[in-house]
Amino acid sequence: MKLSLRWKIVGGFGLLLLLIVLLGFVTVSLFSSLRSVQRKVFNEAIPELVAVDELVRSYTAQSAAVHRLLIGSGSAPLLDQYRQEVGIAEVWEQRAERLFQEAEDQRLLEELTRAGRRFQELVDQEVIPLAETGKRSQAFRVLGSEGSSLISEIETLGSLLRQSQDRVVAQSENQLRARSNQALLILIVVILAALAAGTMLAIKLPRRLVADLSALVDATRAIERGDLAQKIEIQSGDEIEELGRRFEDMQAGLKRLQQLALQDRELEIAASVQRNLLQRSMPSPTEATVVPLQRQANLVGGDWYDVHAAGKTLTVAVGDASGKGIGAALMAAIALSVLRAERRLGASPKLIIERTNEALREASDQDSFTTLIYATLDFGSGEARWLNMGHPSPFLMKGPADDGARTGYFLEGPRNRVLGWFDDPGLAETIVRLDPGDRLVFFTDGFIEAKSVEGEVFGQHRLAERMQSLSGLPSGPLGEALVEEVERYAAGKLDDDLTMLIVEFQGANPEAPSEEGVGAWHSRK
Amino acid sequence: MAQQKVEIEITDANDYRVLRPTGDLDVYTVGSLRDAIGTLIEQESPKVVVDLDGVPFMDSSGLGALMGGVRRLREAGGDLAICCTREQHLKLFSITGFGEGVSIAPTVEEAAAGFRN
């Protein structure tokens, strides 16, 4: 039977309570039947017996008094004694009439009283007048024949009445015995039942409870050791069974957490690989200052950058793989690796982009793509060139005017398509000549797509406005301030990575040897 | 904000279906769009117009799912066209170059008129 622990305990105690009530009821009924027998014997049977005895005794005494009166010489005290006994008999007659309730007893009493009356009539109307007129022997005869037979009738009726009362007492006795036997039987049954219920409550229930709880304790110990395959089999149908089920659920939850922790660990490894892949030291040519900034929304992300200086050329790449997490990080790693390898092999920027596109096309799924800008800065001429592969346009911040103010704008040059999706993404280039002091700011879409709590994006216009207003700052603090602005705008909840590279052209170094950088735009490789 | 779901309504037009996502299309919600397109391919309804009027924000993941949809639907013998009037999305299509190969128009009918297959 499926019962909750609460109902088991309530049921057990309820049963005990019921048995106690039954015990009380049996005891009370036993006492009340004792009382009724007592009442019957002491209030009815015994007074009735006494009344019958007194009546019979009174008539016998009357007869004796009259006899002695006839034997003696008519003494007045004996007549008085007779009269007194007649009065006594009347009193007992009245009392007996009230006492006897049974029809048979009443009939016997009536007969007895009638016989008594006849005896008194005989004495008063015949015996005493005969004795008074000196006819004693005749009076004796009358008394001897009629009187004696009446007295013996009275005695017979009295003994019949007495027997009837004895029967009542005996009946009561039997009744009492039967009642007490019955009560004893009920008491034994109730006590046995109470014992059984008590035993169940005191032994079986706790034992089962303890066994089930022990199973749970064992399971928790095993779980503590890291064994998350505990099967908890409790079928008590109560809260303990429910607890067992919850334990199994918790175990499943812990398993999931364990897997997540493992994934987190893998993610940390991936993050560490990504950190190692990203540049750890920036080249610091005298002709240009390069400031990289990055805030990742997650442990790993799709944003990346690469800066290389060789001879009088600075090469800068900023990329963004679509999506988030490991998938995006893998795409970033592929792009970065291919790009670096091709550059080391001396490939031209266009070839590098083509190769990177091929590699990404092979590796990407249908929904993934990478945007990037691959740019070079010629220190000698100040000429900056780049290929924009579906990426946000860079911002050109002109060098400070005489009043110290800088002007700036987005350089919307010819645009190509994203990498990793198209066979031919296009290779149109943008060329711009920088003056010393000019800054080129490359960034990823995280800056313009950062959302406020209300869901409004930061947008290109806000970015341009901030760049303008903060342009008085040196490159490093400028970048930090811009990142902080965007983070504040998004209330600290960035959904996408923020990556920015600020390249400030310092002007040609006249002492530098005139050699060509690797991967020149006109290279055939 | 980030964990919001996107609701996608699918309606029948003449010989194509219209998908109307409502909500942001970003890394957290693109799964729904991808699944909806997958279901239409299974139902052999490979001509789809995605109406972006109910999408206030779309990031690179959302764009990726749309472009992946173009590729998959074309492989299935259909096409994906985009109905969009939102400047922000149009700019994204233009920056990435996706706008060049896909029919993008301000109304569903005009977008559907540009189906390739």
Per residue of chain A (525 residues), give pLDDT as tens: 567 778 878 887 888 888 888 888 888 888 888 888 888 888 888 888 888 899 899 999 988 888 888 887 656 788 888 889 999 999 999 988 888 888 888 899 999 999 999 999 998 898 888 888 888 888 888 888 888 899 999 999 999 988 888 887 888 888 888 888 888 888 888 888 888 888 877 787 778 888 888 888 888 888 888 888 888 888 888 888 888 888 888 888 888 888 888 888 888 888 887 777 777 788 889 999 999 998 888 777 889 999 999 888 999 999 999 988 888 888 999 999 999 999 999 899 999 999 999 999 998 788 899 999 999 999 999 999 999 999 999 999 998 888 878 899 999 889 899 999 899 999 999 999 999 999 999 999 999 999 898 888 899 999 999 999 999 999 999 999 999 999 999 988 888 889 999 999 998 877 766 555 555 776 655
Residues of B in contact with A415 (CB under 8 A): 94-95, 97
Residues of B in contact with A324 (CB under 8 A): 27, 61
Going by the DSSP 8-state scheme, the letter that residue B26 receives in this structure is: S
Tokens 């990203």 sit on residue = A278
Min distance A390 CA to chain B CA atoms (Å): 4
Tokens 């006590």 sit on residue = A191
Instruction: Determine the Cα–Cα distance for residues A12 and A33; give it in Å rounded to an integer.
Output: 32
Tens digits of residue pLDDT in B13-40: 888 999 999 998 988 888 899 999 999 8
Tokens of residue A342, six digits: 């091709």
Residues of A in contact with B34 (CB under 8 A): 367
Shortest CB distance from B67 goes to which of A421, A445, A496?
Answer: A421
Strands (E), A80-157: none
Shortest CB distance from B97 goes to which of A416, A459, A493?
Answer: A416
**Does B30 reach chain A within 8 Å, measured CB to CB?**
yes
**Does B25 reach chain A within 8 Å, measured CB to CB?**
no
Residues of B in contact with A368 (CB under 8 A): 64, 68
CB contact under 8 A, B27 and A451: no
Tens-binned pLDDT, residue by residue, of chain B (117 aa): 344 578 899 998 888 999 999 998 988 888 899 999 999 888 887 899 999 999 999 988 899 999 999 989 999 999 999 999 999 899 999 999 888 889 999 999 999 999 886
Residues of B in contact with A493 (CB under 8 A): 1-2
CB contact under 8 A, B67 and A445: no
Q: Give the strand pairing for A303-310 and A288-295.
A: unpaired
Min distance A385 CA to chain B CA atoms (Å): 18
**Does B97 reach chain A within 8 Å, measured CB to CB?**
yes
**Does A504 reach chain B within 8 Å, measured CB to CB?**
no
CB contact under 8 A, A323 and B64: yes
Neighbours of A302 (CB within 10 A): 34
Going by the DSSP 8-state scheme, the letter that residue B58 receives in this structure is: B
Predicted pLDDT at A220: 86
Min distance B80 CA to chain A CA atoms (Å): 14
CB contact under 8 A, A320 and B60: yes
Q: What are phi and psi of A378, to 5 degrees?
A: -90, 115
Shortest CB distance from B1 goes to which of A371, A445, A455?
Answer: A455
CB contact under 8 A, B72 and A323: no
Please compute, for residue B38, the number of CA atoms within 13 A of its CA located in the half-sphere on the CB side. Answer: 9
Interface of A with B in 274-313 (CB under 8 A): 302
Predicted pLDDT at A204: 77
Predicted pLDDT at B3: 45
CB contact under 8 A, B97 and A320: no
Report field, pTM of the whole predicted structure over 0.80: no
Tokens 């429910």 sit on residue = A242
CB contact under 8 A, B61 and A322: yes
Mutate to test the interface with B, among A452, A495, A498 (most CBs of B within 10 A): A495
Q: Give the strand pairing for A370-378 and A313-321.
A: antiparallel
Instruction: Determine the Cα–Cα distance for residues A213 and A219; give it in Å rounded to an integer.
Output: 10
CA-based nearest residue in chain B for residue A323 = B61
Whether the CB-CB separation of B41 and B58 falls below 8 Å is answered with no
CB pairs < 8 Å spanning A and B: 81
Predicted pLDDT at B1: 39
Residues of A in contact with B88 (CB under 8 A): 457, 459
Shortest CB distance from B97 goes to which of A320, A415, A455?
Answer: A415
Shortest CB distance from A495 goes to which of B26, B68, B94?
Answer: B26
Predicted pLDDT at A268: 82
